[in-house]
Amino acid sequence: MLGSRMNWQRWTMMLPAILFFAVFALLPMIVAVYYSGLNWDGVSKATWVGLYNWTHAFVSGQAVHSLLLTLELMALCWILQNPISLVLGVFIAGKQRHRVVYGVIYFVPLLFSAVAIGITWSYILDPEFGLIDSLLQAVGIGNGTENWLGNPSLAMFVVACIIAWQFIPFNSLLYQSGAKQIPASLYEAAMLDGAGPLRSFFHVTLPQLKYTIITTTVLILTGTLTYFDLIYVVTNGGPGDSTEVLAMDMYKEAFTNLNIGAGSVIAVILAAAGLLLSILILKFTGFNRMESQMEGL
Amino acid sequence: MSTPIDNVRYAKVRPRRKVTVHGGLFTAFGTIWLIIAGYPLLYMLMTSFRTQNGYLSGKPWLPPTNPTLSNYTQVLQAGFFHYFLNSAVVSIASVVLIVTFSLLLAYVIVRSKSRTVRTVFNVFLVGLALPIQAAIIPVYILINKLGLYDTLIGMILPMVAFGLPLSLLILVNFVRDIPNELYESVALEGATDYQIVRYLVAPLSLPALVAVGIYEFIQSWNNFLFPLVLTQSRSVQVLPLAIVQFQGQHSIDVPVTMAVVIFSALPLILAYIFAGKYLRQGMLAGFGK
């Protein structure tokens, strides 16, 4: 009789997933800690240097710089994406036909890879032949030669805008499904109490979307922590090091400078940050509780 | 969850609603975003039909005066069909392995009360937000040592590992909702665990399997870091890496590059046209609630 007891068949069912995850995800995380104590180019013989890479990363200020840039990008992404996504999500949750059609079109940027989006936007923002500068020139705003991605004080903001362009549709999809689940009776009650559309937005819609706001926040933060592909294509960390976020810094140290130790220091910082966020997700959402979360999917 | 009573009330109230200033503001906001989202896509499409001269002399915001398909033929001549096949092999293999492995594990997690199994589940959950970037250096060394550097399999293995946690979470939540009586009735007939998964759990979880499959397909189709670090020759290049290399060689020829960009997303665009609803549900898989 098959009850809740384990048997050999069940162990074999668990094996492939555990094996893959342990060998190619979990173990590498642990090995990265060991690598962070090595002076190694990945080919010749490695020497153990203890905490040298760690102290060097912090004394030189490079790790702190990348960490701050990553936090800056997280903040920018949240501010740019969340409010707009919320309003758009509530908008496309409506039943009118044009809202549904809009929602279908909003989704299209999500079909492209980050590198494809990055390449496209670097042409759109090109100071010589780009769409934006040509348009600005045509309508007579400025001289139409702004080098958006070549300006160290603008580059990070522009990168965050491109990320927002791709991911606002995704977040608004989440808000759409959240808003659709708000019972109509709540709005009627608010209406009977004499609340106008704005008041019912702030007193019904917003509180009801509380958990969606937490979800999108978590997704934006974890997504931004690892953001790499688009930055690699659009600025490659530049100009100077003005967009060199943690993931970019790690890649350059390990695979361009062939300094496995220094790259691993950044990798460990990334893993620690990811772990912290994971724990926060579990705390906030209770995903691992044994009750059903997916009714009505 | 609207009850029948809600629906009745809703039907009564609804006709009284008129087009309000509020709704108008919403539509205006939505339309502005429609332009912001749609115009760059249109630019992509228009530019891919331009000639190189047309691009340099024309106005980039207008449709091309002499549209041409030559950019697309140039893309195919550059071997992009081969990269397309590489991408297809990597993505399909990853999706099949991820979905199979996580469904088997999800079944055991739901059906057994063993503490070891609970711990395994918790470890996977913590792995949810562990970034690929944090593991890529040891993965690179490991793949090299296994002699899998510069192979398609070398990309598939870590992709599967990093795809597992999320699809496991979604499938556990879904399999959990299968009523206990169903398990008991097939167990009475003497079915083994594998048979239960094959003939009971898999068919019943089909919606979740489709959603997870779509999500993981898009993830592997667009993955850039693994191919960037784990491959170098053209014969195993996948599309995202091929685009970047192509752009490096043709950086002045923008129309051809735009054609490459569109070509690389073609299967997803076609899938979206024919099964958009499933794609949107797939992207939301696991986050929707």
Of residues B114, B164, B280, nearest to A21 (C-beta): B164
* CA gap B126, B5 in Å, rounded: 42
- Strand A47-48 and strand A38-39: the pairing is antiparallel
Of residues B22, B137, B169, nearest to A198 (C-beta): B22
Map residue A6 onto helix, strand or coil: coil
* CA gap A26, B31 in Å, rounded: 45
In chain A, residues 69-88 whose CB comes closer than 8 Å to chain B:
84, 87-88
Q: For residue A218, give the nearest of A286, A264, A160 by alpha carbon.
A: A286
Map residue B237 onto helix, strand or coil: coil
pLDDT in tens, B128-159: 777 888 899 999 999 999 999 999 999 999 99
Considering only CB atoms, which chain A residues are within 8 Å of B130?
25, 29, 271, 274-275, 278
Number of H helices, E strands in chain A: 15, 2
Strands, DSSP E only, in A180-291? Answer: none
- What does each of the 289 residues of chain B score in pLDDT, given as a tens digit? 444 444 444 444 444 444 456 677 888 889 999 999 999 999 999 989 988 877 877 777 777 877 888 889 988 998 899 999 999 999 999 999 999 999 999 999 998 888 999 999 999 987 877 788 889 999 999 999 999 999 999 999 999 999 999 899 989 988 998 898 888 888 788 888 899 999 999 999 998 999 899 999 999 999 999 999 999 999 999 999 999 999 888 877 888 999 999 999 999 999 998 888 888 888 876 564 4
* Contacting residues for A222 by C-beta, under 8 A, at least 6 apart: A274, A277, A281, B129, B131
Check residue B10 and give its pLDDT.
Answer: 47
- Cα distances from A66 to residues A60, A62, A259, in angstroms, run 12, 6, 17
Q: How many CB atoms lie within 10 A of CB A8?
A: 8
Check residue B22 and give its pLDDT.
Answer: 67
Residue-range domain boundaries for chain B: 4-48, 74-284
| Subunit contact B126:A275, Cβ cutoff 8 A | yes
Check residue B50 and give its pLDDT.
Answer: 86
* CA gap A95, A97 in Å, rounded: 6
- Assign domain B74-284 one CATH number from 3.40.50.12780, 1.10.3720.10, 2.60.40.10, 3.65.10.10: 1.10.3720.10
Shortest Cα distance, chain B CAs vs residue A95, angstroms: 11
- Look up the CATH number of domain A62-283: 1.10.3720.10
| Subunit contact A135:B61, Cβ cutoff 8 A | yes
| Subunit contact A21:B124, Cβ cutoff 8 A | yes
Residue-range domain boundaries for chain A: 62-283
N-terminal to C-terminal alpha carbon distance within chain B? 13
* CA gap A274, B183 in Å, rounded: 37
CA B126 distance to own-chain centroid: 22
Considering only CB atoms, which chain A residues are within 8 Å of B138?
27-29, 31-32, 35
- Is residue A81 a contact partner of residue A164, using CB atoms and an 8 Å limit? yes
CB distance from A95 to chain B under 8 Å?
A: no
CB distance from A182 to chain B under 8 Å?
A: no
Q: How many CB atoms lie within 10 A of CB B206?
A: 10
Considering only CB atoms, which chain B residues are within 8 Å of A18?
105, 120
Number of Cα atoms under 13 Å in the Cβ half of residue A97? 0
For B13, the closest chain A residue by CA position comes to A188
Task: Give the number of beta-carbon pairs within 8 Å between A and B.
Answer: 337
- What does each of the 297 residues of chain A score in pLDDT, given as a tens digit? 456 778 888 999 999 999 999 999 999 989 999 999 998 988 888 889 889 889 988 888 888 999 999 999 999 999 999 999 999 998 888 888 888 888 889 999 999 999 999 999 999 988 777 888 888 877 777 776 778 888 888 899 999 999 999 999 999 999 998 888 888 888 888 888 888 778 888 888 888 888 888 888 888 988 888 889 999 999 988 888 899 999 999 999 999 999 999 999 999 999 898 888 777 766 766 654 444 333 333
pLDDT in tens, B77-99: 988 999 999 999 999 999 999 99
